[in-house]
Amino acid sequence: MEGLLLVVPISGLLALAVAAYFAYDVLKSDRGTPAMQEVAGAIYTAAVAFIRRQYTTIAMLAVVGMIVIGAVIYVFETAPGVSKEELALKTAFAFIVGAAASMLSGIIGMFVAVKSNLRTAAAAQTSVGDAMRIALRGGAVSGILVVALSLIGVFAIFALYGGFTKPAEAPFTIVGFGFGASFVALFAQLGGGIYTKAADLGADLVGKVEAGIPEDDPRNAAVIADLVGDNVGDCAGRGADLFESTAAENIGAMILGVAIFTVTKNPAWIMFPLVVRGFGLVASMIGIFLVRGNEKRDPMTSLNFGYYITVALSIVGMYFVTNSMLNEKGGAIWFFYAGVIGILTSLAFVFITQYYTAGSWRPVKEIAEATKTGPATTIISGIAVGYETTAASVITICIALFLSHFFGEQWGTATGLPHGGIYGTAVATMGMLMSAAFILAMDTFGPITDNAGGVASMANASHETRERTDRLDAVGNTTKALTKGYAVASAALAAFLLFSAYLDKITDLRKAAGITPSDFHVVDLAKVDVFIGGLLGAMLVYLFSSLAIRAVGRAGSAIIQEVRTQFREHPGIMAGTEKPDYARVVDITTSSALRNMIAPGLLAVCAPVVVGVLLKAEAEAAFLMVGTMAGVILATVLNNGGGAWDNAKKYIEAGMLKDSLGKVLGKGSPEHAAAVVGDTVGDPFKDTAGPSLHVLIKLLSTITLVLAPLFI
């Protein structure tokens, strides 16, 4: 077992090396024309300025959070054999390390992404294959780093807190790491999500709709802010989201391992999640290496090929690790099955998301048809599609939960050991997370290609160059949608194991406090306070989304006013003789996004505390569980509804919509205008509220785990 454990640091260090190599590979590539460099330079400067201001704010909030957590644990928590001071310090330290690691991975990933867009645009002057390689490797830097840092971080702090000498206690003390990561992710995703969609909304409404100029037109003062937005929202935001997913779910799985360790005294049950993720990281890197684009093939086919490789290698790795580590008393095959369920779930979500958001299937076509009767029916149809998508997603999640739990129970029957069912869901979650680095690389590929298109367009690159970037950009839209589906599904699967960890934790606290009966593994919805907790959890999800969506509207209005003023006061801008003041719009977007992320962020952090303190542990569990269900479902609605509108617009722009006489209804038609309304409505859904909900769900789990002593 000790040998296998070495996989963790080795794969982590290997990943850092691969990331460094990819970064080097990208940075040494051709930097294109001076015009391109100028545009990319402006994006770079603005993105760095935003991230600096955003992360300064977040760092201050994190320090406050750390102090509060330390104080709460010092005052309320009691554990046998550990001093209050040690417990408080350890948790607070883990929190700040988790927060710092999350910030670090966001910053580095975004830095490379912003550098990659220029190189991708430059490469697109000659070849799709090269452009694709650069964009994917740029994205992979972020993807690999995020996963490696979360793996190394959890491993290091586990080792530091005596995981190898007292494996049963360490997992609980490192929960703070996951909470720190969630905390940063929440604000990173909210701030970035508000920034990106406010800028997008502002740029589109004033540019495309009012002034009638095309997307990414240099005369639009909001265009740089719009391009910056893709980086701060999709790169930094989603990176932080998946950083905390992998960290929190890993820790949750380790906590469940403690229960079996207590019986078998074999620490492999606790270490398994770390090792299997190390294998997943390696599988993802191989997959990324094997992606090769060329001029003829659809870039999505190339990416899918790499993904299938990753999935296949993950299955092999899962077989090897379950057999090596979990074969005590035999029966490891059941956990292998559970792991495969998790891996296949990620694949299922890739297909579901494609079906609902890609133009070749019924849902997007239905929305495109609805544009013929105007914007109202376009919206109605998109919302109907968004609601409908919950069915396939939820049923898939239910099957995955049921089967992985069932396989775990079969293991229990075969070996006579307890806690198999819940460990089965933990193995499935780990299986799902094995491809996280690949998925995240594909995700970051999206904003890089999007930005490359913007750079090419603003730098007046050749028609062929823009055609190439457009092709990659379309694929990027799909990969961004896939990542969200993946993030939701992993959150849903992980939620169940984090609940169990919470119930274990409360049981421990009750034991320590001498409360009888100490066992606390029932969350009884038939009690009125528990029911109320559940109802409030479901409500929180809506209130939070309302604040996030409204924040985009507010920040967007500020941008619209500014761009309008610039057009009015400087007629030279429209004529093309004067340059708009991009920096002013960037500045307004930055302050507006940061101001507006505070309210939903604080709501998310405070609501679970208030409910738990008032209604206590069992109602808090229902709050967490029903809130998670509602959050998973609403995030699915928002992500897929938004994605479907986006692609209905693209479907029309591609000339695929025809009237009854066969005439193409393309760009500039009333149908296209209606589709633009749908796309605009969908933007804050799919890029602000939806992704922020993923983070909210996991934040609820980590916050309740860490602050559990308050709810006894």
Q: Report CA dihedral (27, 29, 35, 39) to the nearest 10 degrees.
A: -30
Q: How far is the CB of 370 from a copy of itself (least distance, A)?
A: 7
Q: How far is the CB of 604 from a copy of itself (least distance, A)?
A: 14
Task: Answer yes or no whether residue 699 interacts with a copy of itself by CB under 8 A.
Answer: no
Task: Answer yes or no whether residue 434 interacts with a copy of itself by CB under 8 A.
Answer: no
The CA–CA distances, whole Å, from 706 to 63, 228, 364, 709 equal: 16, 35, 43, 8
**Which residues, 651 to 670, sit near a copy of itself by CB under 8 A?**
none
**Which residues, 464 to 493, sit near a copy of itself by CB under 8 A?**
492
Q: To 5 degrees, how large is the angle CA 63–CA 65–CA 68?
A: 110
The interface region with a copy of itself, picked from 320-328, 469-477, 498-506, 584-592 by CB under 8 A, is: 498-506
Dist CA 91 CA 199 (whole Å)? 38
Q: How far is the CB of 366 from a copy of itself (least distance, A)?
A: 8
Task: Answer yes or no whether residue 209 interacts with a copy of itself by CB under 8 A.
Answer: yes
Task: Answer yes or no whether residue 675 interacts with a copy of itself by CB under 8 A.
Answer: no
The answer to whether 179 and 73 have CB atoms below 8 angstroms apart is no
Q: 94: burial class by Cβ within 10 Å (0-12, 13-18, 19+)?
A: buried
The CA–CA distances, whole Å, from 46 to 165, 294, 590, 625, 657 equal: 48, 33, 9, 40, 38
Q: Which residues, in sequence order, are CB contacts of 232 under 8 Å at separation 6+?
A: 47, 50, 51, 54, 110, 191, 192, 195, 196
Task: Answer yes or no whether residue 518 interacts with a copy of itself by CB under 8 A.
Answer: no
The interface region with a copy of itself, picked from 221-229, 238-246, 328-336, 421-429 by CB under 8 A, is: 421-429
Task: Answer yes or no whether residue 500 interacts with a copy of itself by CB under 8 A.
Answer: yes
Task: Answer yes or no whether residue 339 interacts with a copy of itself by CB under 8 A.
Answer: no
Task: Answer yes or no whether residue 556 interacts with a copy of itself by CB under 8 A.
Answer: yes
The interface region with a copy of itself, picked from 72-80, 243-251, 579-587, 623-631 by CB under 8 A, is: 623-631
Task: Answer yes or no whether residue 134 interacts with a copy of itself by CB under 8 A.
Answer: no
Q: How far is the CB of 343 from a copy of itself (least distance, A)?
A: 19
Q: How far is the CB of 696 from a copy of itself (least distance, A)?
A: 14
Dist CA 122 CA 136 (whole Å)? 15
Task: Answer yes or no whether residue 54 interacts with a copy of itself by CB under 8 A.
Answer: no
Record the tokens describing residue 168, joined without a space.
Answer: 């049963």
Alpha carbon of residue 285 to chain centroid: 19
Q: How far is the CB of 495 from a copy of itself (least distance, A)?
A: 9
Task: Answer yes or no whether residue 233 interacts with a copy of itself by CB under 8 A.
Answer: no
Among 34, 416, 463, 528, binds a copy of itself (CB under 8 A): 528
Nearer residue to a copy of itself within complex by CB, 586 or 632: 632
Task: Answer yes or no whether residue 560 interacts with a copy of itself by CB under 8 A.
Answer: yes
Q: How far is the CB of 335 from a copy of itself (least distance, A)?
A: 16
Task: Answer yes or no whether residue 254 interacts with a copy of itself by CB under 8 A.
Answer: no
The answer to whether 465 and 176 have CB atoms below 8 angstroms apart is no
Nearer residue to a copy of itself within complex by CB, 53 or 372: 372
Dist CA 157 CA 144 (whole Å)? 20
Record the tokens describing residue 601, joined without a space.
Answer: 């962020």
Q: What is the CA radius of gyration of the chain?
A: 25
Task: Answer yes or no whether residue 380 interacts with a copy of itself by CB under 8 A.
Answer: yes
Q: Is the peptide bond before 517 cis (omega within 30 degrees of 0)?
A: yes
Alpha carbon of residue 77 to chain centroid: 32
Residue whose C-alpha is closest to residue 173's, from 234, 57, 251: 251
Q: How far is the CB of 547 from a copy of itself (least distance, A)?
A: 8
Dist CA 532 CA 519 (whole Å)? 22
Task: Answer yes or no whether residue 163 interacts with a copy of itself by CB under 8 A.
Answer: no
The interface region with a copy of itself, picked from 84-92, 238-246, 453-461, 627-635 by CB under 8 A, is: 627-635
Task: Answer yes or no whether residue 103 interacts with a copy of itself by CB under 8 A.
Answer: no
Q: How far is the CB of 579 from a copy of itself (least distance, A)?
A: 25
Dist CA 181 CA 174 (whole Å)? 11
- Please compute, for residue 144, the number of CA atoms within 13 A of its CA located in the half-sphere on the CB side: 30
Nearer residue to a copy of itself within complex by CB, 150 or 381: 381
Task: Answer yes or no whether residue 557 interacts with a copy of itself by CB under 8 A.
Answer: yes
Nearer residue to a copy of itself within complex by CB, 309 or 619: 619
Task: Answer yes or no whether residue 550 interacts with a copy of itself by CB under 8 A.
Answer: yes
Dist CA 168 CA 512 (whole Å)? 15
Record the tokens describing residue 42, joined without a space.
Answer: 């402006």
Phi, then psi, of 474 in degrees rounded to 5:
-60, -40
The interface region with a copy of itself, picked from 91-99, 130-138, 157-165, 547-555 by CB under 8 A, is: 547-555
Nearer residue to a copy of itself within complex by CB, 285 or 558: 558
Task: Answer yes or no whether residue 524 interacts with a copy of itself by CB under 8 A.
Answer: yes
Among 57, 264, 304, 377, binds a copy of itself (CB under 8 A): 377
Nearer residue to a copy of itself within complex by CB, 149 or 341: 341
Q: How far is the CB of 600 from a copy of itself (least distance, A)?
A: 11
3-state secondary structure 588-607: HHHHHHHHHHHHHHHHHHHH
Dist CA 396 CA 158 (whole Å)? 33
The interface region with a copy of itself, picked from 104-112, 118-126, 349-357, 632-640 by CB under 8 A, is: 632-640
Q: Which residues, in sequence order, are CB contacts of 632 under 8 Å at separation 6+?
A: 393, 394, 397, 488, 491, 492, 495, 697
Number of residues that bind a copy of itself (CB under 8 A): 76
Residue whose C-alpha is closest to residue 551's, from 483, 508, 604: 604
Task: Answer yes or no whether residue 418 interacts with a copy of itself by CB under 8 A.
Answer: no
The interface region with a copy of itself, picked from 23-31, 183-191, 300-308, 373-381 by CB under 8 A, is: 373-381
Task: Answer yes or no whether residue 521 interacts with a copy of itself by CB under 8 A.
Answer: yes
Q: How far is the CB of 328 from a copy of itself (least distance, A)?
A: 23
Task: Answer yes or no whether residue 522 interacts with a copy of itself by CB under 8 A.
Answer: yes
